[in-house]
Structures are given as structure tokens and as C-alpha cells.
Structure 1
Amino acid sequence: MKKRTTRLLGTATLTGILLTTAACADPQASTQPISTTPAAPAATITAADSARAASETTSPAPAPETPRAAALQTFTFPDGHISFIHPAGWTVKVKPGPALNAEAQKNSFEAIISDASGTGLARMYSGMYGDGAAGPASRTILDHAPAPGVTNMAGEATEFGFAYDEYPGATGGPYYFMDVRNAREFLATTDSSGSSQIRLPNGVLSAWVVLSDAPSTPAFASPAEAKAWMGTERYAQLKAMLLSLHYA
């Protein structure tokens, strides 16, 4: 596959209207003395009165709306051991995984994760037998974090990682990968291509993002392009999915 580049108030304003009237005296109306009554002293408005009035007539400012989290779903392999979380719009197709014999085939599964458009994003094996080979490589680690839900048979921690390897004498550019491995493979001193296979009581777990059609085809034109992809929503979704892996 080719590279996949997917939480009011209205303020009520009370306005007082002051109506002022003025009476005009007719100079020919009367010759009798006019009796006047002293006006009552005007009420004194204090700062405390103003503050109290403001608190009684002013509604609180509207609270900011909290963004709603994207809907998620949990997938569990048929044997009940490995599970992970993915966006609700994605699909997981399961088929038999690699096995040495018919009995082992009953507990070996492959899961293919695709987005809403049907584009394949990642693959996982659970319960398969282990094989493969490794060779010398110069590894550059772009991102990594502990995967707390998975501990291998030796009691060692595992990690999510996004990195690329450069092989001595190889042509065609570096090999980029995004998967979950034994934590020791994301040390700065790593000098081997290693493997994404993690040995568990039910067999081998291998979980990775599909970045390119073949290992010989670079998934990104440059490390700068790979780093830019790390800032996308799709990268965050895939990372969260791999970090959610859990063995029971």
C-alpha cells in the first residue's frame, strides 16, 4: 500500500429610563404668596451599592464550550487476548494468521485496519509463530513512548515508535517504520534492524502501520517530510491506536 498521508447565556441588560418633566408657571395666574417645601436630600449612592446592583443585574459570561472527543471503538481478537482502540469510522477485518499446523491455526489471527474510505492503514498479527531476520542498521528515532498494555514473555516493557533505518551499502533511501517493539529497540545505541515481533504467552504479537508498498520504497521523500507528518491528525490517531494495545 502507498503511504497514508484521520466539548450561554445571553446577558440580560436592565436599562432604567429617567423621565424629566418641567412645569412652567403662568406669570398672571396668582398674586398670593407661594409656599415652598424644602426638597428631601438626595440619596447618596456608595461604591458598595453600585457593586451590589451590578452583581444583581449582570449575568455571568458564557463558559467556553469543551470540544467533543471523537467516538472510539474497542476491537478484541477472537481468542480474547489482544485488544486495541480505534476511531469509530475505521473497520477491522480478521482472517487466519501464519501458523505451523492446523491446531495452531485456530489461535493465529491477522487484523487489517482500514479507514472509512477502505484504505488500509495498519496490520496486526496475534498468536502467530515467530520468524524473520535482522541485520546491521543505523537507526534514527523520531518518536517513541511506552506501550503500557503489553509486556513480553521475559517481563520486558514494549514501546511505540516511529523511526527510520539506514543500511550499509543500501540504495533507495531509508526504511521508515511505525510499530510497537521491545523497548530496547528504541534506544539511541540501537545498531540492528531488529524486529517488531513481541513474544507473548499466546504466541507472537506484531503490530505496525502500513507506510509504503514495499520496504524498498521510502515512505517519505525526506526526514523533514516524515517529521511534518507527525503533526497530522492521522499520525495522532495511529499512534493512539498502537499505544492502546493491551494483552489479557
Structure 2
Amino acid sequence: MHPVHRARTFAALATLAALTLTGCMAHVSSEAAGTPAAGATAPASVSATPVPSNTASPTTAGERPTSSAPASSAPAPAGLATYTFPDGRLSFKYPAGWRVELFEASSSPFVGTATIYDAGGQRQAEIFTGVIADGVSSPVIRTVFESLPVPGLQGQPEPDGHYSFYVDNVNDVATYRMHLTPGTPVAGAEMGLPGLIRIGERVLIAEVTFIDNPFANDEDAKAWLAGAEGQALKALLMSMSYS
């Protein structure tokens, strides 16, 4: 992702660090295209076509963006790979040319974060799963661009996990977020969502990591979503599955 599109780490993970069990160990495993790491498999012939949206937006895939949004640092290549967490139950798909690094804070019970990097080495998203997490909310004025239920997370404790892309405005400062949300975010005046999804007895946080001010305005954000990078990251979140 272009530097202005890289994301801020979730506030939840800061709380996690303080709560993680004493004696936890950490290790990092890297996964490169064509050489999946342990727990990851590359499916044969999987289409890279983004998951279709049933929510209309002013800009659709294939149109020439009219905004000034910078291009991706490394366009997503064709084909998808699958990453599966060490517990064998949580997985997601990502562009085959990207890589996944796992930080394991605890092996029993498993607590860890998978960080996804594109082919140019830019951080694109972070996915945390474990038994401890926290979230922070605050009053915001929200505009929801898109929100869809994630098929692989249905049947888990309610509210169902949704992929969502929206902007929160506080004192004329816009914060853009693309992440998994518990249910559909509410437009208008609303409290900020912590982004905690229940999966069995565990929690899940999955977010595209934006930093600074990634978009000049809402139209800029919609144009980015319609482009290759936005669609690849949307597809990644929509592919989350827990069994």
C-alpha cells in the first residue's frame, strides 16, 4: 500500500500487551509467494476476482478514478493463497504475491497477530486472534460506505461479523476505517466500534491499517475502494473463515 494508505495499529492490541499471560513466547514466521509457511496452503486455481458488493457506490470497479488517491505501492498479482492460523480453525485468503508474518504471543491458549504485507513490502492489514482483547469507543459522526456479512463467520456468537468501510468524523477530523465489525455500523451520530468479533470462545480483530490521513475526502476514499488495492483488501476481509 502507498505510505499514506498504511494503517494505524488497533488500540485493542495495546491493551492486549498488558494482559497477555506471563511467560508468553513470541516468534515470527514469514510466508512468501510460492513457499507457504507452516499453516498456510496455496489453493490451485483460485480466482482473484474481488467479492462482489451488493451495496452501490458512486464509483464502480473498472472506472477511472476521478480523485487524487495515490496508486498502490505494489498492485496485487493474480491468484490467491490461503493462510491458516496455528489453531487450524481461522483462515483467510490474500494475493499470492503478498506475504504473512505471524507474531505468536502465546501458544496455549493461542494468542497472536498475523501481519499482511504486499509485494512491495508495505504493511496492508493486521489480524489478531486470542482470548484477551479490549476496545475503545467514543462519540463520532459516521458515514458508512459499505458493509457486508462475512460468509465464513456466520453462525458464530452474535452480532455476526461484517466487512465494513466507513469514515468517522470528530471535530472536523476524518478517520477512515476498513475492518471487521460486529454487525453493520450505524450511520449518523454513533459511538465508535471496538471491532471485536466473537468466534467460538475467542475474539477476532481484523483491520486494514491506515495511518495519518489516507484520503483527501470521501470521494477519494470511494475511488480507492473501487480500485485494485481496495478490492484486494476487501476480498481479504470477506474471506475470513472460522470452523
User: TM-score band (shorter)?
Assistant: 0.5 to 0.7
Partner of 2:60: none
Q: Distance in 1 between matches of 2:153 and 2:217?
A: 32
Deviation at 1:4, TM superposition (A): 3.1
Name the counterpart of 2:216: 221
The answer to whether the aligner puts 1:117 opposite 2:120 as a matched pair is: yes
Correspondence for 2:79 = 71
User: Which segments of 5 or more consecutive residues in structure 2 lack a partner in the other structure?
Assistant: 7-46, 49-77
Distance (Å, rounded) in 1 between the aligned partners of 2:154 and 2:194: 16
Q: What's the secondary structure of 1:75's corresponding residue?
A: strand
Report deviation, 1:78: 0.7
Report what 1:86 is aligned to: 94
What's the offset of the Cα at 1:156? 2.8
Corresponding residue for 2:182? Answer: 182
Q: Which runs of 5+ in 1 are unaligned?
A: 6-67
- Distance apart, 1:122 and its partner CA: 0.4
Cα distance change, pair 242–103 in 1 and its aligned pair in 2 (3 A): closer
1:131 counterpart = 2:123: no
Q: Work out which of the two has the higher radius of gyration on C-alpha atoms and give 1 or 2.
A: 1
Work out the CA distance in 1 between the residues paired with 2:205 and 2:102: 14
TM-score by length of 2: 0.65
Which of the two has greater strand per residue?
A: 2
Normalising by structure 1, report the TM-score: 0.64
Paired residues of 1:152 and 1:158 also in contact (CA < 8 A): no
Count of aligned pairs between the two proteins: 173
Instruction: Give the Å deviation of 1:72.
Output: 0.9
- One-letter amino acid of the counterpart of residue 205, structure 1: L
CA contact (8 A) 1:128 1:204 kept: yes
- Indicate if the aligned counterparts of 2:142 and 2:186 stay in contact, CA closer than 8 A: no
| CA RMSD, Structure 1 to Structure 2 (Å) | 2.2
Tell me how far apart the structure 1 counterparts of residues 152 and 189 of structure 2 sit (CA, whole Å). Answer: 23
Q: Give secondary structure in 2 for the equivalent of 1:226.
A: helix
CA gap of 1:201–1:176, structure 2 versus 1, over 3 A, is: same
In structure 2, give the amino acid aligned to 1:188.
A
Preserved contact between residue 91 and residue 114 of structure 1 (Cα < 8 Å)? yes
How far apart, CA to CA, are the structure 2 residues paired with 1:81 and 1:145?
22
The change in CA–CA distance for 1:193 and 1:120 in structure 2 (over 3 A counts) is same
Go from structure 1 to structure 2 and tell me whether the alpha carbon gap of 1:103 and 1:78 turns closer, same or farther (over 3 Å shift). Answer: closer
Contact kept, 8 Å, 1:127 with 1:202, in 2: the verdict is no
